[in-house]
């Protein structure tokens, strides 16, 4: 598959708190970073837009216990909310902050953000999406990308899930594919 000027890369939530040692680690979440760095290199070489999304929670976010189900994580302006230091984001990366409203959960990178607007301004039609976690923010971002009529690719080798209930990751991938996303890996892209 050839990347063209209508293609963009979206890296979902590769933040310290979602990696081993963080407040809400995805098991082996850091293992996808080499593949993501290779995708970044390929998109950068062709001058294509690269987006990095991040949870940017207030201290009392609705997703945090006791109001929600998660421990506090990715609190804005903290070390845990920073991108993983091994992720080689380019200087011109477009950062999309999400889930910043204390009373609103937001798993999708499209929810209450400027992502769709910026993509349309750039003439993007094809999205290549990977990151953390497959069964939450990656899945919801991909499903929203499909609802917005983007040709959508799930980066299977650059995504990791939580799998809180055995089969969650497999079920998320099945749902994304059934709704129209295509699974690809680095070997599928020129």
Residue 76 binned pLDDT confidence (cut-offs 50, 70, 90): very high
Which whole number is the average pLDDT over 89-101? 98
Residue 190 binned pLDDT confidence (cut-offs 50, 70, 90): confident
- Asked if residue 110 has pLDDT above 90, the reply is yes
User: Can you list the domains of the chain with their CATH numbers?
Assistant: 7-188 (3.40.50.850)
Catalytic residue among 17, 137, 144, 160: 137
Helix (H) or strand (E) holding 20: none
What one-character DSSP code corresponds to residue 155? E
Quick one: CA dihedral 157, 161, 166, 170, positive or negative?
negative
Mean pLDDT for the chain overall: 97
For position 165, what pLDDT does the model report?
92
Residues contacting 35, CB < 8 A, separation 6+ = 130, 155, 157, 158, 185, 186
**HEC secondary structure over 25-76:** CCCCHHHHHHHHHHHHHHHHHCCCCEEEEEECECCCCCCECCCCCECCCCEC
Q: What is the pTM of this model?
A: 0.98
Q: Tens of pLDDT along 120-155?
A: 999 999 999 999 999 999 999 999 999 999 999 999
Q: Tens of pLDDT along 4-49?
A: 999 999 999 999 999 999 999 999 999 999 999 999 999 999 999 9
13 is a catalytic site residue: yes
Residue whose tokens read 């506090």: 72
Catalytic residue among 13, 55, 135, 144: 13
Helix (H, G, I), strand (E, B) or coil at 148: coil
Which whole number is the average pLDDT over 182-187? 98
- Asked if residue 60 has pLDDT above 90, the reply is yes
> How far is the C-alpha of 118 from the C-alpha of 113, rounded, in Å?
10
- Of 37, 31, 4, 7, the C-alpha closest to 19 is 31
Residue whose tokens read 């293992």: 31
98 is a catalytic site residue: yes
Catalytic residue among 17, 30, 98, 135: 98
Burial of 76 (0-12, 13-18, 19+ CB in 10 A): middle
112 is a catalytic site residue: no
């Amino acid at each position: 598959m050839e990347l063209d000027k209508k293609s963009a890369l979206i890296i979902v939530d590769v933040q310290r708190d979602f990696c081993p040692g963080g407040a809400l680690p995805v098991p082996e979440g850091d293992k996808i970073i080499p593949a993501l760095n290779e995708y970044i290199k390929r998109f950068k070489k062709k001058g294509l837009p690269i987006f990095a999304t991040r949870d940017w929670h207030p201290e009392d976010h609705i997703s945090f216990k006791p109001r929600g189900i998660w421990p506090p994580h990715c609190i804005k302006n903290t070390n845990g909310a920073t991108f993983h230091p091994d992720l080689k984001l380019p200087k011109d990366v477009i950062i999309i902050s999400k889930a910043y409203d204390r009373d609103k959960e937001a798993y999708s990178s499209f929810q209450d953000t400027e992502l769709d607007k910026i993509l349309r301004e750039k003439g993007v039609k094809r999205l290549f999406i990977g990151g953390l976690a497959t069964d939450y923010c990656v899945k919801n971002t991909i499903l929203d990308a499909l609802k917005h009529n983007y040709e959508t690719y799930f980066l299977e080798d650059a995504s990791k899930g939580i799998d809180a209930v055995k089969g969650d990751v497999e079920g998320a991938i099945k749902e994304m594919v059934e709704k129209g996303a295509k699974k690809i890996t680095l070997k599928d892209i020129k």
